[in-house]
């Protein structure tokens, strides 16, 4: 997904057109569609502005919906409701609002008038928004009673995070509503973080190191404009995800020929595959069920100057793709709710359903049980998810270790909770200050 742009008015594109686009994205999300394909349907010239407004609207959607309920007891038709909620989301946070409230109202009404789907609701939208401007303080105070409005997450999600992390739930939800910075992983086969920071400094681009291989940009910008992009000097990867490859490789020793045989299950788009190849001379099988996403792996590896054995296949059916050679290491970045990467994908919280957690946990358990026999005695499997829910992390790993007597749960990072932001004092040696939510378990197979 493209990195979220800054909220800034586009000189070429009138705001009403961007508001129409953001409303169409919200409509798609409410219809159960991910934001990424919804944005691809938006005209290319409009896309950066629409994406910025849609990100903002989805971060404030809980508050916007609560305000809309105060302003109109019965929701208007879906298209008009989406436009109204986008405008309220953009107007309700004065300190973070990208435009003045009066500009927003004027342009939202213009957007309504310019579409057949909302034309007949233009005066209703105008009335709601003008009433909001008049009664802002009183209406905002009324919505304070709703946790969904205060935290901008569905109620079930708030309850679940609170149950799983009773002392840190507010920090997690707060971090989810912050904007994630652009984080790079430096390709150590081409350059070093210190050298790359110098290259950025020479171009007047603010950045600081994070972890062993990471660099955080103080301001997001198009990755293709950064030094060394075409030459494969870096990849975009969150700091939490950068822990996967070192955790797997740590303590692994190859047999006679000196090359480790590693499986990256569920590998697309290939960030962790590439990191493994950057850090060690190893044979990596990059497996993914989606053929188009496997093409992405190939493209990413080609830019970095790396090679893996890319296989289209279902990780839960090794009979279809496995050659019978046991692996020294297996990386299982399992399908999950993505509840840890909400700040990068603010639509996730509105797309998920409470039942998704158990369904995904069942898939995770099946993948662990299926891939474990493919691991050599003495080998290790790293299980990870970009989730903060314990059912997809700690509970999953402990249940697996309890039911597999040859599995030893090694010292592992466990649940990493989302941390933001890059503002304020910077402690470059402290990885734990800027990353998404993640879970890691390292499972060692007992030697026979």
* Paired residues of 414 in beta bridges: 440
Contact 80, 118 (CB under 8 A): yes
Q: How many angstroms separate the CA atoms of 340 and 416, rounded?
A: 9
Of 282, 294, 336, 386, which is the active-site residue? 386
Please name which of 2, 48, 38, 340 lies closest in space to residue 348, comparing C-alpha atoms.
340
Q: Which candidate, 79, 102, 103, places its Cα nearest to that of 14?
A: 103
Q: CA dihedral defined by 207, 210, 215, 221, rounded to 10 degrees?
A: -60
**CA dihedral sign, ordered 142, 146, 151, 152:** negative
Letter string b/e over residues 152-187, b meaning 16 or more CB atoms within 10 A of that residue's CB: bbbeebbebbbebbeebbeebbebbbbbbbbbbbbb
The beta strand positions in 224-344, using DSSP E, are 234-236, 260-265, 282-288, 309-312, 327-333
What's the rounded Cα separation, in Å, for the pair 109 and 84? 9
Does the annotation count 336 as an active-site position?
no
- Tell me how many degrees the CA angle 420-424-429 measures, rounded to the nearest 5: 70
Q: How far is CA 340 from CA 136, 256, 384, in A?
A: 33, 40, 12
DSSP-derived letter for residue 386 is: S
CA distance linking residue 420 with residue 175, whole number of Å: 6
> Helices (DSSP H) in 216-282: which residue ranges?
244-249, 271-279
Backbone φ and ψ of 214, nearest 5°: -105, 155
What are the Cα distances from residue 144, in Å, to 51, 63, 73, 440? Answer: 28, 9, 17, 36
DSSP 146-182: -HHHHH-S-HHHHHHHHHHSTTTHHHHHHHHTSPPPP
CB-based burial of residue 14 (10 Å sphere; 0-12 exposed, 13-18 middle, 19+ buried)? middle
DSSP letters, 412-443, are EEEEEPPB--S-S---TT-GGGSB--EEEEEE
By annotation, the residues acting in catalysis are: 386
């Amino acid at each position: 997904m493209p990195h979220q742009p800054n909220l800034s008015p586009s000189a070429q594109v009138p705001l009403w057109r961007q508001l129409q686009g953001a409303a169409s994205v919200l409509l798609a999300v409410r219809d159960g569609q991910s934001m990424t394909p919804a944005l691809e349907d938006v005209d290319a010239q409009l896309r950066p502005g629409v994406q910025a407004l849609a990100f903002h609207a989805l971060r404030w959607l809980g508050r916007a919906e609560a305000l809309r309920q105060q302003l109109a007891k019965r929701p208007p038709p879906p298209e008009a409701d989406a436009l109204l909620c986008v405008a309220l989301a953009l107007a309700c946070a004065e300190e973070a609002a990208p435009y003045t409230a009066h500009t927003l109202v004027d342009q939202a009404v213009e957007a309504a008038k310019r579409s057949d789907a909302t034309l007949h609701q233009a005066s209703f939208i105008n009335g709601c928004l003008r009433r909001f401007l008049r009664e802002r303080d009183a209406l905002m105070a009324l919505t304070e009673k709703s946790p969904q409005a205060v935290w901008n997450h569905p109620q079930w999600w708030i309850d679940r995070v609170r149950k799983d992390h009773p002392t840190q739930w507010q920090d997690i939800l707060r971090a989810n509503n912050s904007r994630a910075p652009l984080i790079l992983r430096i390709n150590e086969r081409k350059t070093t973080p210190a050298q790359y920071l110098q290259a950025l400094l020479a171009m007047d681009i603010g950045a600081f190191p994070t972890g062993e291989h990471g660099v955080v940009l103080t301001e997001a910008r198009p990755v293709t404009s950064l030094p060394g992009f075409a030459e494969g000097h870096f990849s975009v990867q969150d700091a939490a995800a950068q822990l996967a490859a070192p955790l797997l490789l740590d303590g692994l020793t190859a047999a006679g020929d000196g090359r480790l045989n590693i499986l990256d299950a569920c590998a697309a788009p290939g960030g962790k595959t590439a990191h493994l190849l950057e850090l060690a001379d190893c044979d990596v099988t990059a497996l993914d069920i989606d053929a188009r996403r496997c093409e992405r792996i190939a493209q990413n590896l080609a830019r970095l100057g790396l090679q893996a054995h890319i296989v289209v296949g279902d990780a839960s059916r090794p009979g279809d793709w496995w050659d019978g050679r046991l692996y020294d290491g297996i990386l299982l970045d399992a399908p999950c709710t993505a509840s840890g990467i909400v700040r990068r994908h603010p639509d996730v919280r509105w797309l998920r359903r409470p039942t998704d957690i158990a369904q995904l946990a069942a898939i995770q358990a099946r993948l662990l049980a299926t891939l474990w026999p493919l691991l050599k005695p003495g080998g290790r499997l790293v299980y990870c998810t970009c989730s903060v829910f314990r059912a997809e992390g700690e509970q999953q790993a402990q249940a697996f270790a309890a039911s597999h007597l040859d599995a030893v749960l090694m010292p592992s990072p466990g649940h990493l909770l989302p941390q933001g932001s890059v503002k304020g004092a910077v402690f470059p040696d402290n990885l734990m200050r800027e990353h998404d939510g993640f879970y890691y378990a390292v499972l060692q197979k007992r030697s026979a």
